[in-house]
Structure 1
């Protein structure tokens, strides 16, 4: 009998990860609230709203019944939007047990509490945050379902759990590394969406490659600075979860964060952008979270700050760029506090 895994929920990334598992001859149950989506996946082997034109594996099936989805599963993969993770995990709780591997691939924060997603899942399941595994890295769903070579990282404080997740996902086209820095992997995956919004906005304004290269470089400095202050290893931000995911998200039309930023740069309002996307744009929620977090930790995040003004205070994008270009003179190496720097170099 084939081993079983459950994926919650059936968005583009959830469906792509379910396809990876199905290619390993696993029985994969994808949970969705949408009955029409369930019927489409089961009857036509398609998920046209999220992955148009893709034929899904017959090893993959959908259900609206949480108990049916997770019953007998050795692993549960949570890929819900950040705003829905707590509710989805709460629905999972009655059917979860300690022997079940829990992986999440959601890149964001719980905006209301500013908590990382692993913290939210741990709270709802009543387990230690350290036994949850974070999956992150440069990985467009549209390419993964086409079996394009893709490399990601799974991070956990528990080496046994991360090794289990590595074995779960790794196949001929989906390479998986492990990392102990769960905090860094999680923060990098969430915060790069902000910089991807900015990169799209820069392209929409027609500012060219020079501007975008600088934006990505200084954006990575911001991500590293706040990440290290929150307890992450700075080397994580130079890896797959950091610069790898930043590059793929900030330079590709597959990226909904880049597309949203591009439309903002073209002059569309936030409401117009959200109305045309049809899918969650995590970078918008994450920008709001980062604004609060940067104030809490007293860490400068000028790019995220200007994007916050554009998204939520109506600032014109060109004015935001002028504000960034007109900032006081700095040295490039102002990335973290002296205390934090010494922590990692003693």
Structure 2
């Protein structure tokens, strides 16, 4: 792979662009704001997200012209919040996507049907699975920006695509783990954001490490129940793309979902928390999407249920955690 178009201008998109440009992959980068494009071109930094990361703009062309960016490459990487994906896709002519290979790195369900991002993209653009890939964790944009050792998961059923993505993203500080488990890795990436929220709530209410350790161990059990109910056979729960991603989101101070939860635990309501944070916490919308799916299947997932009742039924966080304590094993 010599070039790729990237759609999305947040912290995670910026981190991925940084890696690609360092590896001398030509990046055509779609951003919504002209100010952002000009600042990146002039200062070699994204002024809005992880602005301490220096970008090699010799290999980056940024633009607010979505059609132009899409026309430049066969490989497209979507890195937008799940709630914004439909708006972006509505601007794209499906006929222009017929020969494209689409990679997504989006960690939330999409629309009222609670579709996986990959499933939504496949539906909108009539994609075959062989032309899709996923970039997943466990990794935080801030540590990639700082050049810290990171393990990244590349998923695709197409071996040629897996190899191309692995070569594009591997570096002296990025270790690539390859997988064919598109569904499992994508659902795990969504669920772990919910767990990050709940761990943040616990932290915000001054629960200690002892309780949070039990909370995370129960979350691993819940994830296994969810994946089994969704028909995903024998997932490697202990692998970095499952357990590793869940752990880093639950414990890291870089986790925006954990930060969102901390504020809720400290007494902020949802709207106040959204106003306080400058970045999207995917776990908020993921909570509703996964809760709807679990309810349809008759699943009892106490951690997920707790998050839903606090965020969407506006139940008192302290009361809900007292109930949650009783369900922990």
Once the two structures are TM-superposed, the CA of residue 181 in structure 1 deviates from its matched residue by: 1.1
1:1-346 equivalence runs, <5 A: 3-58=2-57, 59-92=59-92, 93-98=94-99, 100-327=100-327
Q: What SS does the corresponding residue of 2:235 show, helix, strand or coil? A: helix
Kept after mapping to 1: 8 A contact 2:29/2:63? yes
* Divergent runs of 4+, >4 A: none
Q: What SS does the corresponding residue of 2:6 show, helix, strand or coil? A: strand
Q: What SS does the corresponding residue of 1:5 show, helix, strand or coil? A: strand
How many pairs were matched up? 327
159-168 or 173-182: which moved more? 159-168
TM-score with structure 1 length normalisation? 0.90
Q: What SS does the corresponding residue of 1:160 show, helix, strand or coil? A: helix
Once the two structures are TM-superposed, the CA of residue 211 in structure 1 deviates from its matched residue by: 0.8
Kept after mapping to 1: 8 A contact 2:5/2:72? no
Once the two structures are TM-superposed, the CA of residue 102 in structure 1 deviates from its matched residue by: 1.8
The Cα offsets for residues 177-205 of structure 1, whole Å up to 9 and x where unpaired, read as 11111100000000100000011111111
197-206 or 124-133: which moved more? 124-133
Distance 1:229 1:164 in 2: 32
Once the two structures are TM-superposed, the CA of residue 80 in structure 1 deviates from its matched residue by: 0.8
Once the two structures are TM-superposed, the CA of residue 57 in structure 1 deviates from its matched residue by: 1.4
243-252 or 156-165: which moved more? 156-165
Kept after mapping to 2: 8 A contact 1:9/1:79? yes
Q: What SS does the corresponding residue of 2:83 show, helix, strand or coil? A: helix
284-293 or 55-64: which moved more? 55-64
Kept after mapping to 2: 8 A contact 1:188/1:237? no
TM-score with structure 2 length normalisation? 0.94
83-92 or 117-126: which moved more? 83-92
The Cα offsets for residues 203-244 of structure 1, whole Å up to 9 and x where unpaired, read as 111110011111111111111211121122443332122111
Kept after mapping to 2: 8 A contact 1:103/1:134? yes
Q: Judging changes above 3 Å, is the alpha-carbon distance between structure 1 residues 193 and 163 closer, same or farther for their aligned structure 2 residues? A: same
The Cα offsets for residues 98-125 of structure 1, whole Å up to 9 and x where unpaired, read as 2x43211101111411111111011122
- Mind listing any 5+ residue stretches in structure 2 that lack a counterpart? none
Distance 1:289 1:174 in 2: 31
Distance 1:60 1:45 in 2: 10
288-297 or 126-135: which moved more? 126-135
